[in-house]
Amino acid sequence: MLELSLAEIAAAIRARQVSSLEVTLAAIEQAEAAQPLTNAFVEIFADRALDQARALDAELRAGHIRGPLHGVPLAHKDCFERAGAVMGVGSRLLAESAPGTRDATALAKLEAAGAVDLGRLNMNEFVAGPTGQNPHLGDCRNAWDADRVSGGSSSGSGSAVASGAVYGALGSDTGGSIRLPAAMQGLFGLKPTYGRVSRAGCFPRAHSLDCVGPMTRTAEDAALMLGALAGADPRDPTSLDAPVPDYAARIATAAAGSRIVTLADPGAMEPDIAARIEDLLRVATELHGPIARRAFQEFGACDALGDVLSKVEASTLHGHWMATRGGDYSTAVHSRTEPGLHIPAQRYLEALALRGRMLDQFLATVMADADALVCPAIPIAVPTRAEADMEAAGRVFPVVAALTSWTRPFSYLGLPVLTVPIGLDRNGMPVAAQLVGRPFGEARLLALGAGLSAALGWSFTPGLPARIHGDAA
Amino acid sequence: MSEEITRLVEISIRDLHGIASRAGAPAVAREVLRLNTAVRDIARPALHFSDQPADFPAALLRHADPANA
């Protein structure tokens, strides 16, 4: 039953074909079996999850369904506050911190929709890093090939979902931290529009960029989770008050009439990645008509503008700890954060002040008369852990640049982005594209992603290792 | 130029922030210089006196995809 999608297992639980307790027991068993290979979990809440599952089964027997996630086990990146549990944020600094006193809004909303919380997931230290490397907790490894990086910083979220331990997971994304592990492990990863999902109780990297979103094996599953998560929150003043549609109900229809564009100069990509992107563009043309190729001249500028916001805000957050407990940081995170201490305040404020204008310009040019932009998620094949070792001297800046060059510009623009699995690279590892939408265009992106991946024959079996099947194999 | 920036970063690390660098001042200086130049060059000709950070969330709402309604 762990091979079923979130939508399928939720329907089976509602129909009482299987109990939440049975599903949760199987999930715990899989999580424990996968742990030596993936190191995806920091803590498995076995007793607590089983108690939750029993209570949800009792509610169901009494005729009460909490919501679309009733009885489904999920687990989440360890950067969300939980009442009664430690939030370690992948760090040595917070590993022994006091248990939380309240739940992050995102977790509270998932619980209200009926989800079971299976545990805290591994991640890059302090939500910073594209690889899943963590010298404090041990590296999180890719469920498809443990010698390759999982992607980060929501690394455990990717590996737990791809290995079949849970049906979905929350990640957080500042410059690609949902999209990269989703892309590297064959998942749908949704970085929502900035302000679409509350960040209250989520440990930040950069307040101006951070987004919370789902990572799942199907687009429909991401739609179900987003439906539970989206909406304004009084606890997060940056959350925005925009309508929340029924994303799952619209997945069959919201792509109709969509106009797609791609970039005229997509930059350097490895040949097998470029071939998969061309496959996608061919299928997209068949489904949605001709695809215009547009120039995005400010691509590099948006990358730098976002990087300045990220580095300055992170250095502000970490400055005190870096001064008093600098040795407790990994080399990679300490090194990446240092430049933010020295960037002039004027550059930071320019990046903030220009953001609305840059968004206007992007939508009026690159996205003129278009609803979605297709581009790569990562321009290179999933690297081995040795190739992407960020703790080695002088490696952190080039590794980060190589993996995040396609993700960070869209974080600066605050736009919704869905990673869609589209095939395999030369090593048999997943390749993904990004679908970039207009603000609050998540319903359309999820519908487009579902249709495009299906047309490419994408389908995979979670497990150890995860394996593709179907037409794309 | 880069040596002067490196020296500036060394002083800033020590005297303004009280932090022991792990990346080393030359690497940090290169990154600071790269980002400073990129943002300065895009911002100076583009920034209008009326541009402000609050424009951004307003623009997100103004440009919302009608599929979201």
Q: pLDDT band at A470, cuts 50/70/90?
A: low
**Of the candidates B21, B34, B38, which has its C-beta nearest A338's C-beta?**
B21
Interior/surface letters A216-239, b for 16+ CB within 10 angstroms, e for the rest? bbbbbbbbbbbbbbbbebeebeeb
Least confident of A359-368, A459-468, B22-31: A459-468
Q: A412: closest CA among A349, A366, A352, A370? A: A352
Residue of chain A minimizing CA distance to B43: A350
- Rounded distance, CA A378 to CA A255, Å? 24
pLDDT in tens, A410-437: 999 999 999 999 999 999 999 999 999 9
DSSP secondary structure of A142-177: -SS-TTBB--SSSHHHHHHHHTTS-SEEEEEESSST
Task: Determine the pLDDT at residue A292.
Answer: 96
Question: Which band of pLDDT confidence, cut at 50, 70 and 90, is reported for residue B1?
Answer: low
> How confident is the model over A106-126, as a mean pLDDT?
98
Per-residue pLDDT tens over the stretch A15-59: 999 999 999 999 999 999 999 999 999 999 999 999 999 999 999
- Judge: B9–A394 Cβ closer than 8 Å, yes or no: no
Closest CB to B67: pick one of A334, A338, A443. A443
- Helix or strand holding residue A274 (H, E): helix A271-288
Residue B47, chain A, CB below 8 Å: the answer is yes
In this prediction, residue A473 has a pLDDT band, given cuts at 50, 70 and 90, of very low
pLDDT for A289-314, tens place per residue? 999 999 999 999 999 999 999 999 99
Give the pLDDT confidence score for residue A469 in this predicted structure.
Answer: 61
- Written as six digits, the tokens of A334 are 């300490």
| Mean per-residue pLDDT, A431-458 | 97
Catalytic site includes residue A191: no
**Cα gap A58→B18, rounded to integer Å:** 57
Do B38 and A300 lie within an 8 Å CB cutoff? yes
pLDDT at position A89: 98
From chain B, the residues in CB contact with A350 under 8 A are 39-40, 43, 47
Token pair belonging to A404? 């995040």
CATH number of this structure's domain A6-468: 3.90.1300.10
Question: A130, exposed or middle or buried, with CB in 10 Å at 0-12, 13-18, 19+?
Answer: buried
At A196-240, the pLDDT tens digits run 999 999 999 999 999 999 999 999 999 999 999 999 999 999 999
Using N-to-C axis directions, what is the helix angle for A299-324 and B25-46, rounded to 10°? 140
Burial of A55 (0-12, 13-18, 19+ CB in 10 A): middle
Q: Is the pLDDT reported for residue A467 higher than 90?
A: no
Kindly determine whether residue B27 and residue A397, on different chains, have CB atoms separated by under 8 Å. Answer: yes
Query: Active-site residue A77, yes or no?
Result: yes
What distance in Å separates residue B66's CA from the closest CA in chain A?
A: 8
Q: How far apart are CA A100 and CA A97, in angstroms?
A: 9
Complex ipTM? 0.97
